[in-house]
Amino acid sequence: MRLSLFLLAALLTGCGQPAVGHPAPPPPAPLVTQPWPGVRVEWHAETSQAALDAYARPGGGLTGHVLGTAWMRPDGVCEVHVMFDRLLTPEVSAHEAAHCLAIARRGDWTEPPAEAYVPRYLQACGATVAPLGLPDDRPATCAAPPDL
């Protein structure tokens, strides 16, 4: 009985499970960059996987998590959404930016150009997202990201 009183006291004083339902912080404002001439990219950093999934899969239906998503808006700006902690991950950002480049230059919405671009980007620019126009203190080994 004494143990159950201690357990009850602990729960009442806040040592139990954390409360659920706290809203996530708002995502940072989008950042527009132009990594290649004529290719404008609007970067959106999402703060939850659910928010990213909602942008990547409007209407739902598909299962599993995505790392990022990109699409070309009617105004010619390529909108990219990635998780905030992945925005500075060169592989993810280069992949999504490559979608923007492939869409702008060739109208190609498929995965192969973006997948093939990542190793080329890393070899040319190193492990940094600065050449894509994103803030990054890591040194770049290129002046600009490679073209397709």
Question: b/e for 63-86, b at 16 or more Cβ within 10 A?
Answer: eeeebbbbebeeeebbbbbbbbeb
**Model confidence, pTM:** 0.78
Question: For residue range 41-69, what is the model confidence (pLDDT) as tens digits?
Answer: 999 998 888 888 887 766 655 556 688 89
Strand partners, 79: 42, 71
Range in 5-9, 14-18, 87-91 with the lowest mean pLDDT: 5-9
Per-residue model confidence (pLDDT) at position 83: 86
pLDDT of 19 above 60: no
Range in 12-21, 101-110, 136-145 with the lowest mean pLDDT: 12-21
pLDDT of 5 above 50: no
Question: For residue range 56-115, what is the model confidence (pLDDT) as tens digits?
Answer: 766 655 556 688 899 999 999 999 999 888 878 999 999 999 999 999 999 998 999 999
Over residues 17-45, mean pLDDT: 80
Measured distance CA(122)–CA(25) in Å, rounded: 31
Strand partners, 82: 45, 68
What does the angle CA 54 – CA 78 – CA 69 come to, to the nearest 5 degrees?
Answer: 30
Mean pLDDT of the chain: 82
Residue that wins the pLDDT comparison between 11 and 112: 112
Residue 44, H or E segment: strand 39-46
